Chains A and B, each alone.
Chain A
């Protein structure tokens, strides 16, 4: 099985603060990889380095390398907008734009130069179907996306990310603001999407990691303490700290 990301000796600083320390990780293609750990452990920071969203933060700099299908994403030749097209993202809070459902999904393709109405219609429908929300929104494509429920909005955010045809999808605690039923729907969705995409998810919810992920990385104070097959990590953790965390002794 090939890797989508190869992270090598990654250090990340916010000004003087070292947020990630010597992270080494190979993330498998077409798998769900979960990042777990207590707040402030660096898991979201690492996620945001994978599509260079950290570039938006002043004073953030990295050392080491991250390769996406063996291409250095911090290299000189890397076009950041193209990288973000290849590596899509959904956030903790649904962040749909104050536009119609259709325009939200069509925003990405339009950004990347697709203008034809027919083509856009098709992309929008396919993305919505793939995100398992087509039936719920097909009659209100022209209405504001902000009128949907939280869970629907989050699935629409995923549809929006799918519309630019990414290779990897990053999810930053996508269900932490949702009720259990909506959470279940998102998890189900991710399990089907993983056949076509590589998925990396940051989660606070360890049950969620065990339910859906193939591999899990446990972060603590900017370091990857343990990274292995999810089943193994939760049943026979090698590191004492991992064991303490997953058994609920801290965090």
Chain B
């Protein structure tokens, strides 16, 4: 009897430890970032760091302003959303409500495959197919990122649309509405919060993406001047310079990570808020 009790407790503990591991990892990352990044922000000065437009670590004295990278990240993320959301949403509606079963069996794994492609491969694709047309530029980054966020937006929107009760569909059709009017006026609006959640996750993916973006965007550390010119993102900044950075330069890069982390935190909070509203 006692032995069984011990076993029960042991198993409970095992599950708890497993569940705690991921939380522990988050806390650890958070701690590492803050401990290494926040002092640098203090040294540089918060306003100079966030709003300074000059990033020149080799100058004397060095300048550590990441405003141009923040703007770069926002540009490329916004562009990805403009390209990815309409395509993703239409695809989700098609897959969930229009596509015949046979075609679905081909298309769905195709979309899933898109999610599994490593980002460096997207980068190659961008270098081979997009850069020759648009150059190493913001717009190339937008196009590649727009494709990369498709699986996220499609997957979440599709399940949100599928979760809309079929009674809504029937109710609209029974009033004489056609299929597309019903989808546009009733079904998609009913799935709105789920679709928004998908878009928010897509934003998270886009803002955090690194490798593919570096490969097509030129990465000039300056205020973006044109969609057809290069720019650098927050993630790109870290990866490009981390290899040789030392001292305050290195800390400033980690501080860039802190800013990125705060962005992701905001995005995840709005994701949870959207999910919560559904209930």
Contact = CB atoms under 8 A, between A and B. Distances in A.
Contacts of B175: 84-85, 88, 107-108, 111, 160-161, 164
B111 to A, nearest CB: 24
Contacts of B177: 81, 107-108, 111
Q: Would you list the 4 A-B pairs with minimal beta carbon distance, nearest first? A: A95-B167, A85-B176, A84-B176, A95-B171
A91 B186 contact: no
A85 B177 CA distance: 9
Interface in A155-190: 157, 160-161, 164
A88 B174 contact: yes
Given A81-B178, A111-B181, A97 B168 contact: yes
B172 interface: yes
18 contacts: A56-B170, A83-B176, A84-B173, A88-B175, A91-B171, A93-B167, A95-B165, A95-B167, A97-B186, A98-B168, A98-B190, A107-B177, A108-B177, A157-B171, A161-B174, A161-B175, A164-B175, A164-B176
Contacts of B186: 97, 107
Contacts of B181: 111
Which bracket fits the contact residues of B? 10 to 19
Given A97-B190, A98-B190, A111-B181, A91 B176 contact: no
A40 B179 CA distance: 28
B192 to A, nearest CB: 9
A78 interface: no
Interface in B172-211: 172-178, 181, 185-186, 189-190
A114 interface: no
A157 B171 CA distance: 9
A108 B176 contact: yes
A60 B126 CA distance: 48
Given A95-B167, A97-B190, A98-B189, A51 B178 contact: no
Interface of B: 165, 167-168, 170-178, 181, 185-186, 189-190
Contact of B170 (A81, A95, A107, A108): A95
A46 interface: no
Contacts of B176: 81-85, 108, 111-112, 164
Interface string A30-56: 000000000000000000000101001
B179 to A, nearest CB: 9
Nearest to A90: B174
Given A91-B174, A97-B190, 18 more contacts: A53-B173, A81-B177, A84-B173, A84-B176, A88-B174, A95-B168, A95-B170, A96-B171, A97-B171, A98-B168, A98-B189, A98-B190, A99-B189, A107-B172, A108-B176, A111-B176, A111-B177, A157-B171
Contacts of B165: 95
A161 B168 CA distance: 14
In this complex, the member of B165, B170, B171, B189 whose beta carbon has the largest number of chain A beta carbons within 10 angstroms is B171
A107 B168 CA distance: 12
A224 interface: no
Contacts of A93: 167
A98 B164 CA distance: 10
Contacts of A88: 174-175
A157 B190 CA distance: 17
A242 to B, nearest CB: 30
A7 B121 CA distance: 63
Contacts of B178: 81
B159 to A, nearest CB: 17
A48 to B, nearest CB: 9
B109 to A, nearest CB: 23
Contacts of B190: 97-98
Interface string A96-138: 1111000000011001100000000000000000000000000
A230 B112 CA distance: 58
Contacts of A99: 189
Nearest to A163: B175
Contact of B185 (A51, A53, A56, A107): A107
Nearest to A92: B167
A10 B186 CA distance: 33
Given A108-B175, A161-B175, A53 B167 contact: no
Interface string A218-244: 000000000000000000000000000
A37 to B, nearest CB: 22
A39 B177 CA distance: 29
B255 to A, nearest CB: 44
A91 B170 contact: yes
A202 interface: no
Contacts of A108: 175-177
A89 interface: yes
Contacts of B171: 91, 95-97, 157, 160
